[in-house]
């Protein structure tokens, strides 16, 4: 029973980290209509900045720099590339982001090389015990930070002019623009927010029990795509739900791998999220909490 | 009218010259270049299939490598002999090649509840999952696939003539010994030409127009009596068959199949090829395949004599890193500055030169916009200029 509980807690805390990344996908998608395939590289960029800087300026300042760096990267990608697409539509924008991802990921991979960089996080490899259930401290911190982050996002989107403006821009860009909302500003805010969330998620994704910062992190950030799709393309609360479902699924499948192995084979934990995603796309193409697309003729 | 014929003749003669060059190349090329050529032709077929799906029908797919993997493994399994570790059906190679395309198409058809219902980037997301699922199967079904390390592939043979170094052991044309690579070159050339010809016909025929119509507006397409879900599923099946054939050819060129060849990176590479070449253009897909496939191989081969490149693993700029950065930047540059990719640029050049010649007749081009994804032809300035008739 305690093993089961441990897997559930592990899955939920991992899911919260995924939901940070998934929220980044959702925010970029609603604010600029771009499927940001480079998001995984931005996650890696955040973790990489922390790993490189923590020795000289300490972990927390390094985290601040990484958040700023990832935010700037997002804003620049939007301002320099996405806005200047010759054909602006979702398909070409997605392919553009694949191009950005190739460049960013290749460069980071080259810099990291074969080493696994350490983060220097203050929680290190310590473990928190609740009765006979233990959980890595990093995961507990992650859960707390994620809850705070989503509370902040809720406040932003429902209580501030900027956030309401972003929602208006997402709902109907031209009308919002006529009402005096600067679309360039809402778009930049969206990309910056996504970058900040990515950097934070990158730190938690690479701290214990993960070995450290390695290029494969960008790929594990891809696991947030099923979470995003599951929750709904334009829904930040959906990202939380999706993250939790996907986190729980992969933790349970991985945790009970020895029992499942004869049915689904080894390593199914990595694949299960995508299976869930395809099923969801089949049954509810706009996700659990996403708004349905209406066709106007 | 006469000018239209003139351009068509010119492009036909140009194509004929290219084919003649391709036919004579094995007489002069070294083994390295022959091998590179085989990879280029194999990936070109995959790219042509993907350009039908992404360029013509406007459906994004990140799962192309998954279908290539299915083709490659179906060929390897169906032509292979059973051993203690892996099983095989021991079918004739030609049957294996056909089976590779057919099984890929069938898997594509099995995916049609998803492929027919989703559109654009949503399909791209769903197909993203396919790459991981297929990889998982390849690793786990090891009595058929050989697991992580993969399995070796039987060489192709047709009626006692083997496309390998033996059987006949010595074959020479014009004093050049024709070994496996030379023989495969001609097989691949035939397959590539047939595949391109078929794709060109599909694109400009009724089916292709329906696909393009679905891309431009699903509502309009439905109103004109096109079964939208059916059209989307059919283009997915066709592109899967192309990918399957390409996969089988890759297996033949490598002589071995392994799961890592068909990773997400391979899917992205196929997309890079068609974007560089120009979405929807068959010729562009071939040129894109040439660029994307050959660049890393050539850089690796000549890294010793290129001063800015370091040996792999030394921490410097190694050939595969360099080529990835080059085509990452190339994709960004094409999407920002070069509407319609290389094919679009070539068309504009031709257009300009035909404009400058005195009797400015109608531009030689089919009326369906195929170089842009998801935009009605009428609102794209460069297109509306070309299609005024």
Average pLDDT of the segment spanning A30-41: 88
Query: For position B384, what pLDDT does the model report?
Result: 38
Cβ within 8 Å, pair B113-A282: yes
Does the pLDDT of residue B361 top 50, yes or no? no
Selected residues 188-247 of chain A with any CB under 8 Å from a CB in chain B = 219, 222, 225-226, 229
Residue of A nearest to B372 (CA): A87
Does the beta-carbon distance from B375 to A87 stay under 8 Å? yes
A111-146 pLDDT, tens digit per residue, is 888 888 888 788 877 888 887 788 888 888 899 999
What is the pLDDT averaged over residues B297-325?
74
Predicted confidence (pLDDT) per residue in B49-106, tens digit: 999 999 898 888 899 999 999 999 999 999 888 877 788 777 888 999 999 999 999 9
Q: Which residue of B has its CA nearest to A225?
A: B125
pLDDT at A46 > cutoff 90 = yes
Cβ-based contacts under 8 A for chains A and B: 138
Q: What per-residue confidence (pLDDT) applies to B191?
A: 93
pLDDT at residue number A68:
95
Q: What is the CATH number of the domain that holds B125?
A: 1.10.3470
- Partner residue facing B133 (CB), from A219, A222, A271: A271
* pLDDT at site B4: 57
Query: Between the CA of residue B332 and those of B86, B104, B275, B326, B327, what are the distances in Å?
Result: 43, 31, 10, 10, 8
From B42, B31, B34, B32, select the one nearest B292 (Cα to Cα): B42
Query: In this model, does residue A276 exceed pLDDT 60?
Result: yes
Q: Is B134 on the interface with A (CB under 8 A)?
A: no
Confidence of residue B175 (pLDDT cuts 50, 70, 90): low
Q: pLDDT category, B310, cuts 50, 70, 90?
A: low
* Residue A52, min C-alpha distance to chain B (Å): 17
DSSP letter string over chain A? -HHHHHHHHHHHHHHHHHHHHHHHHHHHHHHH----TTHHHHHHHHHHHHHHHHHHH-HHHHHHHHHHHHHHHHHHIIIIIGGG-SS-SHHHHHHHHHHHHHHHHHHHHHHHTT--B----TTTT-EEEETTEEEEHHHHHHHHHHHHHHHHHHHHHHHSHHHHHHHHHHH-HHHHHHTT--HHHHHHHHHHHHHHHHHHHHHHHHSTTS-SB-THHHHHHTTHHHHHHHH-TT-HHHHHHHHHHHHHHHHHHHHTHHHHHHHH-TTHHHHHHHHHHHHHHHH-TT-SSSPPPPPP-
Distance from CA of A213 to the nearest CA of B (A): 17
Report yes or no: A240 and A12 within 8 Å, Cβ to Cβ: no
- Of B131, B114, B272, B128, nearest to A224 by C-alpha is B128
The pLDDT tens digits of the residues spanning A4-25 come to 888 898 889 899 999 999 999 9
What pLDDT is attached to residue B308? 67
Both structure tokens of B124: 């791209």
The range of the structural domain enclosing residue B86 comes to 2-386
**Is the pLDDT score of A275 beyond 60?**
yes
Q: Mean pLDDT across the stretch B214-218?
A: 88
Contact yes or no for B76/B151 (Cβ under 8 A) = yes
Q: Domain map of chain A by residue range?
A: 15-213
**pLDDT of the residue at B209:** 93
Under an 8 A CB cutoff, do A99 and B219 touch? Answer: no
Q: What is the pLDDT of residue B196?
A: 92
Each residue of B7-59: pLDDT tens digit? 677 777 878 888 888 888 888 888 889 999 999 999 999 999 999 999 898 88
Chain B, 175 to 204: residues with Cβ < 8 Å from chain A are none
Number of structural domains in chain B: 1
Cβ contact, residue pair B332, A89, below 8 Å: no
What is the Cα–Cα distance from B295 to B330, expressed in whole angstroms?
12
């Amino acid at each position: 029973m305690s093993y089961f509980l441990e897997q559930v807690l592990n899955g939920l805390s991992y899911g919260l980290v995924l939901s940070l990344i998934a929220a980044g996908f959702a925010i970029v998608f609603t604010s600029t209509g771009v499927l940001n395939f480079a998001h995984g590289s931005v996650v890696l960029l955040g973790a990489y900045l922390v790993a490189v800087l923590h020795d000289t300026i300490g972990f927390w300042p390094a985290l601040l720099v990484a958040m700023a760096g990832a935010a700037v990267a997002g804003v620049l990608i939007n301002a320099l590339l996405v806005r200047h697409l010759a054909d602006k539509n979702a398909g070409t924008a997605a392919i553009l982001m694949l191009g950005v991802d190739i460049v960013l990921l290749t460069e980071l991979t080259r810099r990291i090389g074969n080493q696994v960089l350490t983060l220097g996080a203050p929680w290190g490899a310590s473990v928190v015990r609740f009765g006979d259930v233990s959980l890595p401290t990093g995961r507990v911190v992650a859960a707390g930070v994620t809850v705070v982050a989503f509370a902040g996002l809720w406040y932003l989107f429902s209580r501030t002019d900027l956030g309401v403006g972003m929602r208006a821009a997402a709902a109907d860009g031209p009308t919002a623009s006529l009402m005096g909302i600067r679309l360039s500003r809402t778009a930049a805010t969206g990309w910056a927010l996504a970058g900040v969330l990515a950097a934070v998620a990158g730190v938690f994704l690479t701290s214990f029990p993960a070995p450290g910062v390695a290029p494969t992190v960008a790929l594990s950030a891809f696991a947030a795509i099923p979470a995003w799709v599951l929750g709904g393309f334009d829904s930040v609360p959906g990202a939380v739900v999706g993250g939790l479902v996907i986190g729980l699924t992969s933790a349970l499948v991985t945790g009970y791998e020895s029992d499942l192995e004869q049915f689904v084979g080894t390593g199914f934990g990595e694949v299960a999220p995508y299976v869930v995603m395809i099923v969801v796309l089949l049954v509810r193409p706009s996700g659990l909490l996403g708004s349905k697309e209406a066709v106007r003729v | 009218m006469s000018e239209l014929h003139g351009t068509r003749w010119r492009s036909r003669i140009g194509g004929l010259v290219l084919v003649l060059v391709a036919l004579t190349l094995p007489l002069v090329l070294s083994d390295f270049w022959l091998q590179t050529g085989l990879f280029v032709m194999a990936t070109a077929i995959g790219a042509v299939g993907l350009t039908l799906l992404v360029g013509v029908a406007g459906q994004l797919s990140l799962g192309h490598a998954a279908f290539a993997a299915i083709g490659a493994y179906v060929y390897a399994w169906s032509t292979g002999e059973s051993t203690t570790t892996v099983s095989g059906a021991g079918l004739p190679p030609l049957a294996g090649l056909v089976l590779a395309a057919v099984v890929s198409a069938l898997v594509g058809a099995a995916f049609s509840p998803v492929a027919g219902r989703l559109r654009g980037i949503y399909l791209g997301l769903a197909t993203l999952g396919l790459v991981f699922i297929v990889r998982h199967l390849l690793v786990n079904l090891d009595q058929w696939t050989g697991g992580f390390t993969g399995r070796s592939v039987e060489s192709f043979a047709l009626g006692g003539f083997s496309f390998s170094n033996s059987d006949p052991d010595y074959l020479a044309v014009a004093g050049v010994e024709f070994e496996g690579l030379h023989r495969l070159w001609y097989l691949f050339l035939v397959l590539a030409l047939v595949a391109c010809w078929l794709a060109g016909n599909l694109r400009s025929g009724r089916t292709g127009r329906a696909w393009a119509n679905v891309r431009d507006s699903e509502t309009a397409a439905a109103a004109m009596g096109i079964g939208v879900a059916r059209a989307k599923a059919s283009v997915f099946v066709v592109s899967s068959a192309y990918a399957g054939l390409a996969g089988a050819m890759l297996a033949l060129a490598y002589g071995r199949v392994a799961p890592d060849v068909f990773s997400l990176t391979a899917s992205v590479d196929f997309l890079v090829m068609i974007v560089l070449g120009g979405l929807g253009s068959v010729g562009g897909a071939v040129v894109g395949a040439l660029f994307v496939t050959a660049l890393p191989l050539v850089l690796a081969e000549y890294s010793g004599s290129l001063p800015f490149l370091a040996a792999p693993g030394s921490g410097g700029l190694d050939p595969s890193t360099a080529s990835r950065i080059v085509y990452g930047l190339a994709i960004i540059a094409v999407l920002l500055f070069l509407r319609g990719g290389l094919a679009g640029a070539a068309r504009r050049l031709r257009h300009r030169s035909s404009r400058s010649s005195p009797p400015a007749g109608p531009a030689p081009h089919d009326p369906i916009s195929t170089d842009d994804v998801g935009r009605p032809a009428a609102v794209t300035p460069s297109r509306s200029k070309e299609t005024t008739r």
